[in-house]
């Protein structure tokens, strides 16, 4: 399709009346056509008003129509074909293979949420039937379900132009919950956002939904982004990005006359703990572990929220061999083009501060990539004492850089882990011989992270029913939630109880006839839904 360079508000293409911006090719720093017009706050209000108007009908969709809508979005994204991958590659510098996988993840999670909508357990139906003759007091008929919060503001992420962007996890889970979405495109990949935005708008039209179910807007985060969060029509926020930007949105949301939740994924170092047993094998196994670590650090130029920024390795001969293997592995790596010139600049600043810190040495460094925004990957080393006393060593460096911390025993690990801020993940590499040493670390990590991994790496987040992609602050703003997996839908729901409501006035999920064939908890017991084929038999 021909890109318009304009926002998409409730199905209509709207030229912004503010300034203009361009996407840039980070491999060349050249501007990409077309220019994108930015909305004013007055224009933004039309999008939020449309979302508010769409809520009544969208929040009460029957499961089949609702699920079909989500599947239509996935179909429409795939129908864009290579045009989407080409534009995304131009705007991000990411290779086609990475973007192909990311597109599959985007469409896969939409279809997964469609299955969740059809199955219906997320509606959380509970029924406590009346007990009129209960002594000393009768019990009223009380029924509960989860309802959508209302319109949701979603902010696109810089590092995932598809899977955490226009139709990505936050949008998919909000739409699955029954919440209209006003999506603020990331200015680093405006064309990619527009292509996907039209795919969503087409699904809205084709399924006969209110056009305000989805809007795509362009504008500065410092003004339009803040105005979006402050708008009274918006009832929740999904955000993936920097800690400073996430906290700014949290403050705006908290200062509203009606405060709203902000589900922000912000920063994470994803510590890895290597135990003695993992280094007790032959030299080839140590080399393999070091190579896997470097691959996790350098993949996608390290621009993954789960990239391991810290690794704890034992002091002594085995640890020395591992560190040497890490140095060889990273020396063989080359820089990859980073998402933007600004991100590359921040990487240079962060690695400069790390290399200048007392007690930090360079273990190894690769070679720069083919462009000025492709710095050479670097891995540094320090001791556990320096790590626990210098806050600079706890700062996230977004990109291909990591820090190896040498420790001398289990007490060192417990001390260091207790000082780490909230993280998305923690990984343990060990053998059965290390179980006794590792056991005391598990409860410490439970208080620090959302996902604990054994003998694996945190990169590559499975989209499923059991996944948790969240963690204590500052990894996320709400440690109780996840932004990946089917549980993500719960962020955009709230419970409502209905007491002594006549059947004729009850919403469909709570009616005795169970017209949507839902599993329900009745008087505390789970009652399975009747099979659709058996209904009326």
Q: Which residue ranges make up each domain of the chain?
A: 8-27+36-266+483-490, 272-454, 496-534
- In contact, 199 and 79? CB cutoff 8 Å: yes
Contacts with 352 (C-beta within 8 Å, 6 or more apart), sequence order: none
**Residue 69: its H or E element:** helix 63-80
272-454 matches 8-27+36-266+483-490 in CATH topology:
no
> Is residue 140 a contact partner of residue 130, using CB atoms and an 8 Å limit?
yes
- What region, left, alpha or beta, does residue 153 occupy, with left being phi > 0 and alpha being psi -120 to 50 degrees? beta
- The catalytic residue positions are 265, 305
380 token code pair? 């540094």
Query: What is the pLDDT at residue 536?
Result: 44
Taking the C-alpha atoms of residue 461 and residue 463, their distance in angstroms, rounded to an integer, is 6
Which residue numbers in the chain have pLDDT < 50? Answer: 534-537
CA triple 92-47-90, angle to 5 deg: 10
- The model's pLDDT over 280-299, given as tens digits with 9 standing for 90+, comes to 999 999 999 999 999 999 99
The pLDDT value recorded for residue 221 is: 82
What is the dotted CATH code of the domain comprising 8-27+36-266+483-490?
3.40.605.10
Q: What is the CA radius of gyration of the chain?
A: 25
Q: Which of 380, 22, 475 is nearest to 218 (CA)?
A: 22
For every residue of 120-138, which 3-state class applies, written as one string? Answer: CHHHCCEEECCECCCCCCC
pLDDT per residue as tens digits for the range 320-360: 999 999 999 999 999 999 999 999 999 999 999 999 999 99
**Topology given in CATH for the domain delimited by 272-454:** Aldehyde Dehydrogenase; Chain A, domain 2 (3.40.309)
Q: What's the confidence (pLDDT) of residue 76?
A: 98
Write down the pLDDT at residue 531. Answer: 78
Measured CA to CA, the distance from residue 273 to residue 433 in angstroms comes to 15
E strands along 415-458, which residues?
Answer: 423-429, 449-454
Structure tokens at 398: 């977004």
152 strand-pairing partners: 181, 236
> Which pLDDT value is given to residue 535?
41
pLDDT score of 533:
58
**What pLDDT score does 5 carry?**
97
Beta bridge partners of 147: 494
Q: Give pLDDT, residue 530.
A: 85
Strands laid side by side in the 142-148 sheet: 493-499, 142-148, 126-128, 520-522, 525-527
């Amino acid at each position: 399709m021909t890109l318009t360079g304009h926002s998409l508000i409730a199905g209509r293409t709207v030229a912004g009346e503010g300034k203009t911006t361009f996407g840039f090719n980070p491999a060349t720093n050249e501007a990409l056509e077309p220019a994108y017009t930015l909305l004013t706050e007055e224009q933004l209000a039309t999008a939020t008003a449309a979302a508010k108007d769409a809520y009544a009908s969208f929040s009460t969709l029957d499961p089949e129509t609702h699920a079909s809508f989500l599947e239509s979005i996935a179909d429409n994204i795939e129908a864009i074909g290579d045009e989407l991958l080409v534009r995304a590659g131009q705007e991000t510098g990411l290779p086609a293979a990475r973007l192909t996988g990311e597109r599959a993840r985007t469409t896969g999670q939409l279809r997964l949420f469609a299955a969740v909508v059809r199955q219906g357990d997320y509606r959380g139906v509970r029924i406590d039937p009346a007990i009129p003759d209960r002594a000393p007091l009768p019990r009223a008929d009380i029924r509960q379900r989860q309802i959508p919060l209302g319109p949701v503001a979603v902010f696109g992420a810089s590092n995932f132009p598809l899977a955490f962007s226009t139709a990505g996890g936050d949008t998919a889970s909000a739409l699955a919950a029954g919440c209209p979405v006003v999506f603020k495109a990331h200015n680093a990949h405006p064309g990619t956002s527009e292509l996907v935005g039209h795919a969503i708008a087409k699904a809205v039209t084709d399924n006969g939904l209110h056009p305000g179910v989805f809007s795509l807007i362009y504008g500065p985060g410092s003004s339009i982004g803040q105005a979006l969060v402050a708008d009274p029509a918006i009832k929740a926020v999904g955000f993936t990005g920097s800690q400073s930007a996430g906290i700014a949105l949290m403050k705006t949301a908290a200062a509203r006359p009606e405060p709203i939740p902000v589900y922000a994924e912000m920063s994470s170092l994803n510590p890895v703990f290597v135990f003695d047993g993992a280094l007790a094998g032959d030299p080839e196994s140590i080399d393999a572990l070091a190579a896997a670590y470097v691959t996790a650090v350098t993949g996608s130029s390290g621009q993954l929220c789960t990239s391991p920024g810290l690794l704890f390795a034992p002091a002594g001969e085995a640890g020395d061999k591992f560190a040497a293997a890490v140095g060889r592995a990273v020396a063989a790596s080359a820089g990859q083009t980073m998402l933007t010139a600004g991100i590359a600049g921040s990487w240079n600043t962060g690695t400069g501060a790390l290399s200048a810190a007392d007690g930090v040495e360079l273990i190894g460094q690769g070679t720069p990539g083919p462009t000025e925004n492709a710095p050479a990957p670097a891995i540094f080393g320090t001791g556990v004492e320096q790590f626990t006393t210098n806050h600079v060593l706890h700062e996230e460096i977004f990109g291909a850089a990591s820090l190896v911390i040498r420790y001398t025993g289990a007490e060192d690990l417990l001390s260091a882990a207790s000082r780490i801020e909230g993280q998305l993940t923690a990984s343990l590499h060990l053998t059965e011989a290390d179980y006794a040493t590792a056991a005391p670390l598990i409860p410490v990590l439970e208080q620090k992270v959302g996902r604990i991994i054994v003998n694996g790496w945190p990169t590559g987040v499975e989209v499923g029913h059991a996944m948790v992609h969240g963690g204590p602050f500052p990894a996320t703003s709400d440690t109780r939630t996840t932004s990946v997996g089917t549980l993500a839908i719960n962020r955009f729901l709230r419970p409502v109880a209905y007491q002594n409501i006549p059947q004729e006035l009850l919403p469909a999920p709570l009616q005795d006839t169970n017209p949507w064939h839902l599993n329900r908890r009745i008087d505390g017991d789970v009652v399975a839904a009747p099979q659709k084929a058996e209904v009326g038999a």
